[in-house]
Amino acid sequence: MSALTTTLPTSARPLPDAPMGVPFRRLLAVEVRKLVDTRAGLWLLVVIGLITAAGIAIVLLTASPAGLTFSRLAFAAAVPQSLLLPVLGILTATSEWSQRTGLITFTLEPRRLRVGAAKLTASLLVALGAVGVALAVGALANLAGILWLDGVGTWRIGPEPLLGGILMQLLSVAQGVTFGAAIGNTAAAIVAIFVLPTAWLAASVLSPSIERMSQWADLGVTSAPLTGGAMTAADWGPLAVSVGVWVLLPLVVGGWRLQRREVV
């Protein structure tokens, strides 16, 4: 009788190089799509659109012809966005936990910080798109004011207010994302992002020491020259400190929690 002899390979053939995880551009595309194809995100965008239309209508119907300018109408379109787009950022940051999709997401892409970076980038892209929409709506409203309401129709808008408004829009949306990541609960993060600045303002009125701190730590105070187009070199320091308190600190806490939070 003869026995069958099996020869085992001494070394395995190396596998071809393959990319690890999901490409970032695909993560970004998914996060942008999730901003508009969920019921909460879609209805929030609808509400922003309705409030923007209402604000434009109020300005057109109540302002004098001299007040119907492109800059004023674009500002009226941007105000609802600056108030409500941070909520969209919160919904983005907490979607894996509120919709219980974290197990799928972090199985497909175990590097959680990449997912968080995609969420932040997607929200900032939406904020930039919202600025473009506000300018377009303001231009259409200005044309309507010229044609039917005898508006002066001034088209001039200074570069400093424009760039300052864009930066403030990006900061407000980034604050929403970082608050959502740091707190991890949609309702609590929404309450915090509206209540904490109000509580800080009330405390600064009651306490002179907190009022002095507000000149450096209150984002609403330090960003006022930015949105007003009167930013000086001395204003950038307080703005950087307040951004560190209200945006960068929650970003660090949110990244730490994202890496260590248990997925259920």
Condensed to tens digits (0 to 9), the pLDDT of residues 192-235 reads 999 998 898 888 888 888 888 888 988 988 988 887 777 888 99
Q: Is the pLDDT of residue 243 over 90?
A: yes
Q: For the chain, what is the domain count?
A: 1
pLDDT-derived band at 59, boundaries 50, 70, 90: very high
For residue 132, the model assigns a pLDDT of: 93
Phi first, then psi, for residue 117 (nearest 5°) are -65, -35
Q: Is the pLDDT of residue 145 over 50?
A: yes
Q: 225 lies in a domain?
A: yes
Domain that residue 142 falls in: 24-260
Q: Is the pLDDT of residue 30 over 90?
A: yes
pLDDT-derived band at 18, boundaries 50, 70, 90: very low
Q: 233 lies in a domain?
A: yes
Q: Is the pLDDT of residue 14 over 50?
A: no
Q: Is the pLDDT of residue 122 over 90?
A: yes
Q: Is the pLDDT of residue 128 over 80?
A: yes
CA 76 to chain centre: 19
Cα separation, 91 vs 140, in Å, equals 30
Q: 9 lies in a domain?
A: no
Q: Is the pLDDT of residue 254 over 60?
A: yes
Q: 10 lies in a domain?
A: no
Q: 19 lies in a domain?
A: no
For residue 114, the model assigns a pLDDT of: 95
For residue 15, the model assigns a pLDDT of: 46
What is the tens place of the pLDDT at every residue in 176-195? Answer: 999 999 999 999 999 999 99
pLDDT-derived band at 12, boundaries 50, 70, 90: very low
Q: 139 lies in a domain?
A: yes
pTM equals 0.88
Q: 7 lies in a domain?
A: no
Q: Is the pLDDT of residue 142 over 50?
A: yes
More confident residue, 173 or 156: 173
Percentage of the chain modeled with pLDDT above 90: 55
- Mean per-residue pLDDT over the chain, rounded: 88
